[in-house]
Amino acid sequence: MPLSALDLVIRIAGWLGAAFALVAGVLTLRAFFDPEAAAAERTGRILLAVATICMTSAIVARSVQLGTVPLSSPLESLFTYGWLVFFVYLLLVRAPERPAVGTLLVPFGALCALAGISGLTAPADVQPILKNPLFAFHALAAFLGYSALSVACCAGILYLVLHDQIAHKRLGRLAARLPSLEDLDALGHRTVISGLTLLTASIVAGMVWAKQEWDVLWIWEPKGIWALLTWAVYAFYLVARNGAGWRGVRAAWLSAIGFVASIFTLLGTNYLLGWGRHVF
Amino acid sequence: MQICLAGLSHKTAPLDVREKIAVAREDYGHFLAEIAALPAIAEVAVLSTCNRTELYAAAHSYHAGRHSLELALADRARAAGVELGESVYHQHGPAAARHLLRVASSLDSLVVGEPQILGQVKDAYRAAHETGRTGIVLDRLFTHALETGKRVRTETAIGACAVSVSSAAVELAKKIFGALSGRHALVVGAGEMAELSLRHLYEAGVRDIVIANRTRDTAEALAASFHARAVGMDEIGAALAASDIVITQAASPEPILGRAAFERAMRERKNRPVFVIDIAVPRNVESEVGQLYNVFLYDVDDLGRVVEGNLARRSREAEHADQIVEHETARFVKWWEGLDVVPTIVALRAKLEGLRDQETQRLLTRLDHLSEADRRLVEQFAAQLVQKILHDPTSQIRNAGEAERCSALAAGLRYLFKLEDASPADATPLEEPADETKQAEPRS
């Protein structure tokens, strides 16, 4: 049966990917705390690339199985989210920031992937309405955006930690391991630009899709409202940083606040407010 | 062969004694020749820096060697007109080896972890080696010390953090800006520390430097060596907005740069961060400037505290370095203890192999009816017999443990096999005992 063969591919590639990612996470942590373990950092990065490839095949297989992107149920989305986080990490984070950002990001992504794959459900009957390329684009862009914004949040947190040490003139061992303030600020800026662009694309695609399906451009419901709010925070980030000189600490706080908002958009609107047309 | 060390360092002698005893580069050859002519000295090397002068020798006996080195130092002190008193220390054997390893690892330095000493040890060794004053023992000891020094530098963070005010300033600048190439700097005043910090920054890639000073000439002289632009004090305000790094060390009773000037500059540069290093005492920059958004202000006390923290960290790393030195000393001592034995084994092997060849030839001339294959069989038999006979005594003596026991066994072998010409003092030096081991394996 073609379905069970696909199932096998998904499970094997998915578990392998999650396992590799977990080992990569451990190695990245080790490299961060033990400066002599430079080899660990390199091995960790190679393993992470392998993990990403495995996860990519699992996701492609799952997409074929479902007939749409694997973003239609919470745990599945978690797996996809982990995958996208690695993608962004490997593409957007440069060498000086890699060890420190990776220390937060790689274990986080690995846990997402692990939780996602362990809760993999049988291919439920996906609502036919979701088997639309517009939905695929809408959801994928949103999740890729959130992944970029989680990198921005990491950069922001690290910025605040390092800034605190430099400003209070207490430089500890941690400061020695962190990239420079300017590098972190630039990474935050870079990832917010990518994240915001993707969020915008997602919202626009969602509107076009809604118009197609229900003949309305905008439906007032929690997820939509919160998505707009999140969008506004990051738009404010760009305007304030580039226009009003809010670089540094203020930008770092904004990227952290924006990320809390985006987490709420992603999960809170479903689990706390719990209504709306967004299945997930 | 004994390893002897006599010397004085910053730990035992004041600077005015050290600088008089110190050996200038061009005097090395002469001084080494003087020591080498003294009794019992087989090999000698001199390590002389501003913090230490140490004589290392391989001597035929410890007491005679120590006496000769003492004499050499006393002669030098007399010629220089200084009193050595209690400042000379002596070490011998493993302790002397450990001392050199510690020195090369900069664990014995005034500033633990300073990077210069490794190069100085290398120079000292080269000077002695090139004039032919070192031999098998000191060659090995110095090479081993240099390797240990390198190991300590790569495996510990002993030299990782800045321990001078100017290098701490550069390290901080890198923590704020990342790569410093293309950054702009403004230097106010032309103090020595400011110049030193600027030199560090320049080496790290900072360009577009503006130097402001009350006397224009001083500023221009300094500017020339950094491809910088010299300006008058009245132009500081204009230069401030373009500067990522500001170093101040001007003699002034009142602060030169106030909050208002920086507020203006920050507005103009849209809050891009500024690192202000105020080395002047009294301070040139008002302390409220440090409260401005994205201005990082460090005065000389702040930098001093950073340096103190780093020194504490270095001493923690030094513990790790000490373990490496212990390990490497043990490795060297093991080699050194086997040294007496090597010439004896070589002589024993040579003797038995000589006998083997002689007797096989004699036998074979009488057995000329043998086929070529049979003759080879006889030769192989003889070779294997000698190999097997040699195997046990060779490995036993190598594994006998302490140096004294090895020497006693070697002496016994020399007596029993009449290996008179194999006393260790004039033995042909062997590069590596490891090569010897290879020869001891049965040949296939």
Q: What is the ipTM of this complex?
A: 0.85
* B51-71 average pLDDT score: 91
Confidence label for A194 from pLDDT (cuts 50, 70 and 90) = very high
Confidence label for B420 from pLDDT (cuts 50, 70 and 90) = low
Integer Cα distance of B145 and B138 in angstroms: 10
Q: Computed over its alpha carbons, how large is the radius of gyration of chain A?
A: 19
Confidence label for A240 from pLDDT (cuts 50, 70 and 90) = very high
Of B266, B267, B296, the CB nearest to A166: B296
DSSP A221-257: -HHHHHHHHHHHHHHHHHHHHHHS--TTHHHHHHHHH
Contact B408, B114 (CB under 8 A): no
**Contacts within 8 Å (CB) and 24+ apart, B24-29:** B25/B123, B25/B127, B28/B124, B28/B127, B28/B128, B28/B131, B29/B127, B29/B131
Chain A CB contacts of B276 under 8 Å are: none
Question: Which residue shows structure tokens 């038999």?
Answer: B381
Q: Computed over its alpha carbons, how large is the radius of gyration of chain B?
A: 32
Closest chain B residue by Cα to residue A244: B270
Chain B CB contacts of A169 under 8 Å are: 298, 302, 305-306
* A59-88 average pLDDT score: 86
* A116-120 average pLDDT score: 84
Integer Cα distance of A150 and A156 in angstroms: 10
Asked if residue B402 has pLDDT above 80, the reply is no
Give φ, ψ of B285 to 5 degrees. Answer: -120, 130
Asked if residue B438 has pLDDT above 60, the reply is no
**B406 annotated active-site:** no
Asked if residue B432 has pLDDT above 60, the reply is no
Chain A CB contacts of B294 under 8 Å are: 245, 247-249
B266 touches chain A (CB under 8 A): yes
Contact B151, B324 (CB under 8 A): yes
Contact between B272 and A176 using a beta-carbon 8 Å cutoff: no
Contact between B175 and A246 using a beta-carbon 8 Å cutoff: no
Residue type, position A13, single letter? A
* B343-370 average pLDDT score: 89
Contact B410, B340 (CB under 8 A): yes
Question: Which residue shows structure tokens 């997930």?
Answer: A280
Question: What pLDDT, on a 0 to 100 scale, did the predictor assign at position A36?
Answer: 65
B291 touches chain A (CB under 8 A): no
Question: What pLDDT, on a 0 to 100 scale, did the predictor assign at position B442?
Answer: 39
Integer Cα distance of B296 and B394 in angstroms: 69
Torsion A183-A184-A186-A191 (CA) sign: positive
Give the model confidence (pLDDT) of B182-214 as tens digits. Answer: 899 999 988 787 888 888 888 888 988 999 988
Integer Cα distance of A38 and B155 in angstroms: 11
Task: Report CA B37 to chain centroid distance, whole Å.
Answer: 27
User: Picking from A27-31, A257-261, B117-121, B422-426, which range would have the lowest pLDDT averaged per residue?
Assistant: B422-426
Integer Cα distance of A259 and A148 in angstroms: 10
Buried b (16+ CB within 10 A) or exposed e, B267-292: eebebbbbbbbbbbeebbbbeebbeb
Integer Cα distance of B390 and B384 in angstroms: 10
Integer Cα distance of A225 and B349 in angstroms: 92
- Beta-bridge mates of residue B62: none
Burial of B192 (0-12, 13-18, 19+ CB in 10 A): exposed
Q: Which pair of tokens denotes residue A11?
A: 């499970």
In order of A151, A233, B40, B129, B253, the CA distances from B124 in angstroms are 52, 65, 21, 9, 48
Contact between A248 and B306 using a beta-carbon 8 Å cutoff: no
* B118-123 average pLDDT score: 93
Closest chain B residue by Cα to residue A178: B175
Q: Which pair of tokens denotes residue A157?
A: 């947190």
Confidence label for A220 from pLDDT (cuts 50, 70 and 90) = confident
Give the helix/strand (H/E) hosting B371.
Answer: none
Of B176, B267, B309, the CB nearest to A180: B176
* B393-419 average pLDDT score: 78
3-state secondary structure of B81: coil
B4, B50, B161, B406: the active-site residue: B50
Question: What pLDDT, on a 0 to 100 scale, did the predictor assign at position A158?
Answer: 94
Of B157, B175, B270, the CB nearest to A166: B175
Contact between A248 and B270 using a beta-carbon 8 Å cutoff: no
Question: What pLDDT, on a 0 to 100 scale, did the predictor assign at position B430?
Answer: 38
* B418-438 average pLDDT score: 46
Asked if residue A245 has pLDDT above 60, the reply is yes
Q: Which pair of tokens denotes residue A244?
A: 């009003």
Closest chain A residue by Cα to residue B303: A169
B172 touches chain A (CB under 8 A): yes
Number of CB pairs, chain A paired with chain B, less than 8 A apart? 57
* Mean confidence (pLDDT) of chain B: 86
Question: Which residue shows structure tokens 């479903």?
Answer: A270
Contact A150, A110 (CB under 8 A): no
pTM to 2 decimal places: 0.71
Of B273, B298, B309, the CB nearest to A182: B273
Question: What pLDDT, on a 0 to 100 scale, did the predictor assign at position B66?
Answer: 93
Integer Cα distance of B55 and B65 in angstroms: 11
Question: What pLDDT, on a 0 to 100 scale, did the predictor assign at position B401?
Answer: 64
Task: Mention every residue, 6+ apart, whose C-beta is less than 8 A from residue A205.
Answer: A134, A137, A138, A141
Q: Which pair of tokens denotes residue A271?
A: 């689990």
Nearest to B14 by CA among B89, B76, B87: B87
User: Picking from B115-124, B356-365, B390-399, which range would have the lowest pLDDT averaged per residue?
Assistant: B390-399
Where does B45-131 have alpha helices with state H? 62-80, 94-104, 116-130
Question: Which residue shows structure tokens 């390198």?
Answer: B150
In order of A81, A207, A267, B287, the CA distances from A263 in angstroms are 12, 21, 6, 41
Of A162, A183, A245, the CB nearest to B270: A245
Q: Bigger pLDDT: A125 or A255?
A: A255
Find the chain A residues whose C-beta atoms sit closer than 8 A to any C-beta of B. 35-36, 96, 162, 166-167, 169, 171, 173, 175-176, 178-183, 245-250
* B141-166 average pLDDT score: 87
Residues 185-214 of B with CB under 8 A from A: none
Percentage of chain B exceeding pLDDT 90 = 44
Contact B194, B226 (CB under 8 A): no
Question: What pLDDT, on a 0 to 100 scale, did the predictor assign at position A273?
Answer: 65
Chain B CB contacts of A246 under 8 Å are: 271
User: Mind telling me how many Å the CA of A155 is from chain B's nearest CA?
Assistant: 14
Question: What pLDDT, on a 0 to 100 scale, did the predictor assign at position A151?
Answer: 93
